[in-house]
Amino acid sequence: MSRNRTTPESASLGVAEAGLSTTLNNAHDGAGAASPVVCLYGKGVAKGYAIGRAVVMGAAALEVAHYRIAPEDVPAESSRLTEALASAQHELRLLADTLPADAPRELGAMLNVHSLLLGDPLLAEQTLALIAERHYNAEWALTTQGQMLGQQFDAMEDEYLRERGADVRQVIERVLHVLAGTSAILPDMSHMGGDDALVVVAHDISPADMLRLRGGRFAAFVTDLGGPTSHTAIVARSMGVPAVVAMGNVRELVRDGDMLIIDGAAGAVVVNPSDRILQEYRRRQAVYADERAELGLLRDEPSVTLDGIDIVLHANIELPEEAALALASGAHGIGLFRSEFLFMGRPDLPGEEEQYEAYSSVVKVMAGRPVTIRTLDIGSDKTLDGEATVATNPALGQRAIRYCLARPEMFATQLRAILRASAHGPVRLLIPMIAHMHEVVATKAAIESARRELDARGQAYAPHMEVGAMVEVPAIAIAIEPFAQALDFLSIGTNDLIQYTLAIDRGDHDVAALYDPLHPAVLRLVANTINAGERAGKPVAVCGEMAGDSRMTRLLLGLGLTEFSMHPQQLLDVKREVRRAHSNALRIKVATALNRALPVDLDALGPT
């Protein structure tokens, strides 16, 4: 949610969080009066600064007429919808066929996701049924079905899966524009006068529409909707476009032509800043550009601390196409390859060949670097055929490995595909949400069964594939010793570990402020896991948000961590901190801090 328009005084407090309290407190116009500075906040999903004039898009949700048609008009209305779906498919194919050579690699895959959604029976057939059975007009039927699908995604506990609902909304919006006779969602900005850069202010933006925002005067975008793991956010990071999403009502607070400052790291949007604030942010923009250029020089430098400790830096990816970005960032391998994208937004389960092609494509791109594939991590709040189920508390229900072990045929298909991918390079299998040793035993038995099936077929796979577990349930972090002995590696999922340890739902705004990665209990669980790995001689990684937050790098090094896994764009920032740190000195400082009852003071871990 964004904050409302603020007075100069409250804006001063708001931007103080972004480090500009002095500038704003002293902001004034030429007459000495306080400027009506507005500071709005959302979620920053792509770092960087942008300064430009606002281009406010109209409501993305079109004004849709709701009326019932006569029974005899059902065939014509059904044809109207079918033709609109086909036209939207044609638009996406044209976009895919005309992707420029320098377009983000993720864009092609995301266009394919939208194309699959357009052909999904859950969308097309159910919408046609609403026309035939309830006599809804095409627009009403489409929005009704879209709302139902969107609610299923919104109810999911997992943030990544929840944000796939944005793809459904964007696809439906594209079809609605076709039905309305307008296929272009974004405005044509070529006619806008002046030399200022432009910032698109929208309800939502699809990855496909971002093609129109490449190059030229476009500098950034801000949206009412969205989240850090949405496909639009992924493309924005790949393009290096500063972006702030989930602002709630930003289009109501910004007017065409307003001067905007976008701070992608802080998730801040400053509206109509004073000259002094503009001057400060232009300075920051220049400093940031210089820093990125310097960071680029670190790509091929060793990731080693000042006292000679080698640190492994892996990348987290959502889609196969992101493997190239991981390589370009200098990743040592893939520490987390989420497999959920293969299963979502479709009425059927992905086959073995489809999964094998996806997994093996990443293994081939990584060219001998390890690829860690996480088995399906889906919750009990939605079955894979799209039918919602009732779960009193999805976060504590039949999800992740529990879900997979309860569906042995589905699990076996995924395991065979992963094993086959291992024939092309080093693959590690990561089990999510382990809490009991019998789940480890059952998973290893399922892997052996999959091996026997491949042997019977004469299909190749690596003779040994490392098997590890996500440490995200406090129970395993507390009783970690036998798991460290039984598994080949451990990966700490700090996002869920923090939520389960502190009984905090990050998505609940009423308690989100209590989500504290520095809570002593959380840090002790992380330290306990790392120490157990050291004693067992097994590698331990952190793959949650803490790993990619360069402010946390010294803390994690002080806890003894030697393997980080993060979004590719965060990797060089973390590498810089690693190369500036003295690991052994940090371990002494952090060990002392853990004996206190208060959260660790990151500033106290400053330059060693």
Please enumerate, by residue number, every residue annotated as part of a binding site for Mg(2+).
472, 496
Phi, psi of 346 (to 5 degrees): -150, 155
For residues 101 and 89, give the distance between their C-alpha atoms in angstroms, rounded to a whole number. 22
In angstroms, the first-to-last Cα distance of the chain is 38
* Alpha-carbon distances of 123 from 156, 173, 382, 511, rounded to whole Å: 19, 13, 16, 35
* Alpha-carbon distances of 322 from 163, 318, 393, 429, rounded to whole Å: 18, 7, 32, 19
* Alpha-carbon distances of 480 from 483, 498, 527, 537, 539, rounded to whole Å: 5, 17, 11, 13, 13
Contacts of 35 (CB under 8 A, 6+ apart): 8, 27, 28, 29, 272, 273, 274
Instruction: Assess contact for 249 and 224: CB atoms under 8 A.
Output: yes
Residues placed in the known binding site for phosphoenolpyruvate: 338, 374, 495-496, 506
Phi, psi of 286 (to 5 degrees): -65, -40
Task: Give me 541's structure tokens.
Answer: 């990684």
Q: What is the CA radius of gyration of the chain?
A: 25
Q: Is 231 a catalytic residue?
A: yes
Q: Is 543 a catalytic residue?
A: yes
For residues 376 and 432, give the distance between their C-alpha atoms in angstroms, rounded to a whole number. 8
Contacts of 300 (CB under 8 A, 6+ apart): 330
Instruction: Assess contact for 450 and 415: CB atoms under 8 A.
Output: yes
Among 550, 608, 603, residue whose Cα is nearest residue 582: 608
Residues placed in the known binding site: 338, 374, 472, 495-496, 506
140: part of which helix (H) or strand (E)?
helix 138-154
**Residue type present at position 172:** I
- Paired residues of 492 in beta bridges: 471, 542
Point out the catalytic residue in the list 404, 424, 519, 543: 543
For residues 603 and 428, give the distance between their C-alpha atoms in angstroms, rounded to a whole number. 36
Point out the catalytic residue in the list 114, 177, 203, 231: 231
Residue-wise DSSP of 161-212: HHTTHHHHHHHHHHHHHHHHT----S---TT--SS--EEEEES---TGGGGG
- Paired residues of 54 in beta bridges: 199
Instruction: Assess contact for 140 and 127: CB atoms under 8 A.
Output: no
Contacts of 131 (CB under 8 A, 6+ apart): 69, 74, 77, 78, 81, 137, 138, 141
Go through 118-138 and write b for each residue having 16 or more CB atoms within 10 A of its CB, e for each that does not: bebebbbebbbebbeeebbbb
Sign of CA dihedral 359, 360, 365, 371: positive
* Alpha-carbon distances of 441 from 449, 454, 536, rounded to whole Å: 12, 20, 18
Q: Within its chain, how far is the Cα of 420 from the centroid? A: 27
* Alpha-carbon distances of 168 from 143, 172, 501, 519, rounded to whole Å: 10, 6, 33, 37
Q: What's the number of CA atoms in the CB half-sphere (13 Å) around residue 589? A: 20
Helix, strand, or coil here: 382?
strand
Q: Which residues are part of the catalytic machinery?
A: 231, 543
